Amino acid sequence: MAKRAVKRAAPSRAPSRGCVDKLKALAEATRLEVLHELVDGEKSVSELQAALGVDQSLLSHHLAVLREAQLVATTRARRSIRYRLADGVAAAGPPPGINLGCCQLSFMPPALQKAARLLLLALSFGVLLPLAACGGTAEQQKLTLAGSSTIAPLAAELGKAFEERHGGLRVEVQAGGSSRGVADAREGRVDLGMASRALKEEERAAGLVGTPIALDGIALIVHADNRVAELSEAQIVAIYRGDVRDWSAVGGRAAPITVVNKAEGRSTLELFLAHFALRAEEVRADVVIGDNLQGVKTVAGNRDAIGYVSIGTAEVERSHGSPIRLLPLRGVEASTASVRAGTFPLQRPLLLVTRGAPSGLAAEFLEFARSPHGRTLVEAQAFVALAASP
Amino acid sequence: MPSPRRLDRALQLASAAAAAAALLLLLGLAAFLLRESAPALREVGLVRLVGDRGWHPTRGAFGMAPLVAASGAVALGALTLALPLALAVAFVRLAYAPPRLAALLRALLQLLAAVPSVVLGFFGLVTVVPLLLAIEPPGASLLAGMVVLALMVLPTLALLIEGALAGLPSGERAAAAALGLARTTVLLHLALPRARGAIGAALLVALGRALGETMAVVLVTGNVVQWPSALLAPVRTLTANLALELPYASGLHRSALFVAGLLLLGATAALLLIASRCGARERWRGAREESARA
C-alpha cells in the first residue's frame, strides 16, 4: 500500500519517549490509514472496516496498538464503540494532520500526491529525453544554410525532402538577409549562403560562386476588363505613391484606382519597392494583402484595382479563369517564360553561394534543388523553376 | 473489479493530471510570449509601441495603437450587428416557432458555427466585399469585417442567449401562465431582465472570439494600417497583422509582433474573467443550490 503521509515540521530538540513510541506505532500502513480516516472525524469500527477493506480481527489488533500509543481514544455510544483522535493529537488544518507533540504529520490529498509524482516523472522525462537524443546524434552529418529570408522557406522545404533521402543528415536553415548569407559563405561559417540577388563583382572576385536554384519574378496585374494595356514605370510609381488616383489619368475609364499592396516583410514587396526605388511608407495603399492568391482574388473582384503578385501564381490563376491581366513591363510580356529567358525587368535570381565551386553535400543539395522533385517544391513556393537541366 | 474507492481515486488522479497539464500549457504559452516579446518591450518600450506614428517595423516605427483600435472597432461592430439577430433567433425559437421549425433553426445555427473561418472569409471576399465595392471602393473595409465576424459569432451568441432566457424558474413561468400573460410579455418583462447578466457574459465570450478571429478578417478588411475612421475604409486588426507579417518578420519586428500576441492573450483572458464573474458564476451557484435541494 502506498505511503500516505509526509513528515512536516522538524522535531523539537529533545523528542520525548512518548513521541518516539507514537511514531513507531504509526510506522504501519493500516494504522497510518486509520489515522487518516479519523482526521476527518470520529468513526465506528464498522465504518473504518468498510473504508479500509481489512479484516475485522486485524483491524482490532491495529486499533489496540494505536490506543496503547495514545493516538486514538474511544467513546461508547449505546452499544457501538466509536474511535476518534486522542485529545491533543488532532492538529489544525489545512491540510488535515495530527500533532505528535514533537512533530506534526499532515496528510496530502491523494490526487495532489499522485499529480506531484506524475509531474516529477514528466520533468525527469523532459530532462532525460534530450540527453538520449544527444547520445544518438554524435555522428550526425549537418548541412547549414543562412541568408535571405526570401529563400529560407524554400530552402527549408528542400532541406526536409533532402533529409528524407539521406538518413542521419540534418539541414539547418537560418534567415538573416542576403548580405549575411554572402558574408557567412565567404567566411566559411555555413555550407551554403542564401542570396536573393546577383553577386557583386568584388564578391565574385573573392572566389564566391552563386548557383541559382530558382527565379523570382513579379507581375503587375489588373482586372481583365481594364482598358489600360500597358503602364510606364513612371506611371506605376505615380499610382503607388498616390499622385495618380484615377484611371482616366493613365488612359483608362474614369474611376478611382484601388491600389493593392503587400504586407511588410514579404519578398515580393521588397523586390517591387527596390525596382521602383520606392520607400515602404511612401506607398498609399487601399488594400494590403498577404499571399499571392489573395492578391489575385482581390484584383479579380475589383475592376479598378491594380496589384502585383508572383508571376507563377498569376499565370496559374489566369489559366484557371480568374479575370485578371498581367501587364507587360518595358514592352516585355510578363510570363514565366520571359523570366526564365532572363528578359523580364522585374525579376531576380535566388542563389545559393559557396566559396569556390560547390562540392560534397553542398553540391548534392544544389543538384537536388534542380531535380524534378526540387522543381515542384520551387513552384509550390510560387517561384519560377529554372529550365530543366539537359 | 476495482473497488469504488479505487475507481474514484483513478478518476480523481486522471482529472487532476489533465487539469495540471492544461494549466502548465497555458502558463508555458504566456511565458513563451513574454520571452519573445521581451526584446521589443525593452528596446522599443511601451511608449513607442503605443505612440509611434505609423507601423513600419522594418524602418523603426512601431505604432500599434491603430491596430488595437481597429481590432476593437471590428469586434464591437460585429457584436452590434449580431446581438439583435441573436436575440431575434432566440425569441423565435423559444416563443414563436413550431417545434419542427425551432429544431431546424437550431440545426442551422450549429451548422453555421461549424463553418471554418477561412470559408466565411472567402465568402466575404467574393460576396460582401464586391457589394460594398459598388458603394465605395475598395470594398475591403471595416464594415466588411464586421459583417463577416457578425456571421461568425451569431450562432454562439444566439445559443447562449437562448439558454439564458430559457432559465426562467418554473414557478415564475407558472405564475405568468396563471396570469394569462402573453409570451411576448413573459419574454420581454420576465425572462429578459433576469437574463441580463448571462447575456452580458455571452456578449463578452463572443467579443473574445471576435477579437481573436484572424483568417476571415485578413481576407476582408483591406489591412491598411490606419485609425478606423469610416465604415467603408480599410483597417488592419492585431490578428491580421500577426498573420500577415509573422512568417516573414525577424529581430525587433518579430518581437513587436509577439507583444501584439501578448496583448491579445491578456485581453481575451480579461474578457473571460469578467464574463465568468457576471454570468457564469450565478448559473453555477443556481445549479449547486438545486442539486443541494435534491
pLDDT band at B292 (very low <50, low <70, confident <90, very high): low
Nearest to B16 among A51, A111, A288 (CB): A111
Contacts of A297 in chain B (CB under 8 A): 125-126
Pick the CATH number of A216-341 from 1.20.210.10, 3.40.190.10, 3.20.20.70, 3.90.1150.10: 3.40.190.10
Nearest to A263 among B3, B59, B245 (CB): B245
CB contact under 8 A, B58 and A265: yes
pLDDT band at B143 (very low <50, low <70, confident <90, very high): very high
Q: What is the mean pLDDT of residues B61-75?
A: 93
pLDDT band at B272 (very low <50, low <70, confident <90, very high): confident
Nearest to B250 among A112, A149, A289 (CB): A149
- Domain residues of chain A, as ranges? 5-133, 145-214+349-385, 216-341
Backbone angles phi, psi at A359, to 5 degrees: -145, 170
CB contact under 8 A, B244 and A112: no
Q: In Å, how far is A192's CA from the nearest CA of chain B?
A: 20
CB contact under 8 A, B137 and A302: yes
**Residue of chain B with shortest Cα separation from A116:** B17
Q: Which one of A287, A289, A299, A381 makes the best mutation probe of the B interface by having the most chain B beta carbons within 10 Å?
A: A287
- Topology, domain B65-293: MetI-like fold (1.10.3720)
Q: Which one of B244, B246, B254 makes the best mutation probe of the A interface by having the most chain A beta carbons within 10 Å?
A: B244
Q: What is the mean pLDDT of residues B123-130?
A: 90
Name every residue whose Cβ is closer than 8 Å to that of residue A86 and which is 6 or more positions away in sequence.
A70, A71, A72, A73
- Indicate yes or no: pTM above 0.90: no
pLDDT at A80: 75
CA atoms lying within 13 Å on the CB side of residue A53 = 6
pLDDT at A58: 83
Q: Which residues of chain A have pLDDT under 70?
A: 1-16, 91-96, 108-117, 120-140, 388-390
Residue B84 has pLDDT above 90, yes or no: yes
CA nearest to B77, candidates B164, B141, B3: B141
Q: What is the pLDDT of chain B when averaged over all its residues? A: 88
Q: Which residue has the higher pLDDT, B68 or B281?
A: B68
pLDDT at A133: 43
DSSP state of A192: E
Nearest to B16 among A51, A112, A288 (CB): A112
pLDDT band at B46 (very low <50, low <70, confident <90, very high): confident
**Residue of chain B with shortest Cα separation from A302:** B130
CB contact under 8 A, B248 and A256: no
C-alpha cell at B139: 470594398
Contacts of B219 in chain A (CB under 8 A): 294
Radius of gyration of chain B (CA): 23
Q: What is the mean pLDDT of residues B180-195?
A: 87
**Residue of chain A with shortest Cα separation from B130:** A301
- Tell me what ipTM this predicted complex has: 0.75
Separation between Cα atoms, residue B9 and residue B208, nearest integer Å? 36
CB A301 within 8 A of CB A317: no
pLDDT at A121: 67
Separation between Cα atoms, residue B180 and residue A72, nearest integer Å? 66
Q: What is the mean pLDDT of residues B114-130?
A: 91
Contacts of B5 in chain A (CB under 8 A): 51, 53
Each residue's pLDDT tens digit, A43-95? 888 888 888 888 888 888 888 888 888 888 888 777 778 888 887 777 655 66
Q: In Å, how far is A356's CA from the nearest CA of chain B?
A: 30
CB A257 within 8 A of CB A306: yes
Query: Residue A357: which region, alpha, beta or left (left: phi > 0; alpha: psi -120 to 50)?
Result: beta
DSSP string across B4-64:
HHHHHHHHHHHHHHHHHHHHHHHHHHHHHHHHHHHHHHHHTHHHHHHHSSSEEGGGTEE--
Contacts of B243 in chain A (CB under 8 A): 290
CB contact under 8 A, B250 and A115: no
CB B110 within 8 A of CB B200: no
Asked, colleague to colleague, whether A145-214+349-385 and A216-341 share their fold, the answer is: yes
pLDDT at A390: 46
Contacts of A263 in chain B (CB under 8 A): 223, 244-245, 248
- Topology, domain A145-214+349-385: D-Maltodextrin-Binding Protein; domain 2 (3.40.190)
pLDDT over 90 percentage in chain B: 51
Residue B294 has pLDDT above 60, yes or no: no
- Topology, domain A5-133: Arc Repressor Mutant, subunit A (1.10.10)
CB contact under 8 A, B250 and A175: yes
Which residues does residue B87 pair with via DSSP β-bridges, in sequence order?
Answer: none
Tell me the residue type at A250: V
Runs of H (alpha helix) within chain B: 4-43, 45-51, 65-91, 99-114, 117-123, 129-135, 142-166, 170-179, 183-185, 192-194, 196-212, 215-220, 238-245, 251-275, 281-293
Which residues does residue B253 pair with via DSSP β-bridges, in sequence order?
Answer: none
pLDDT band at B236 (very low <50, low <70, confident <90, very high): very high
In this structure, of A34-43, A283-292, B79-88, B260-269, the range with the lowest mean pLDDT score is A34-43
pLDDT at A28: 84
Contacts of A295 in chain B (CB under 8 A): none
Pairing state of beta strands A305-310 and A208-223?
antiparallel
CB contact under 8 A, B137 and A256: yes
CB contact under 8 A, B234 and A286: yes
Size of interface A-B (CB pairs under 8 A): 107
Q: Which one of A288, A289, A291 makes the best mutation probe of the B interface by having the most chain B beta carbons within 10 Å?
A: A288
CB contact under 8 A, B224 and A111: no
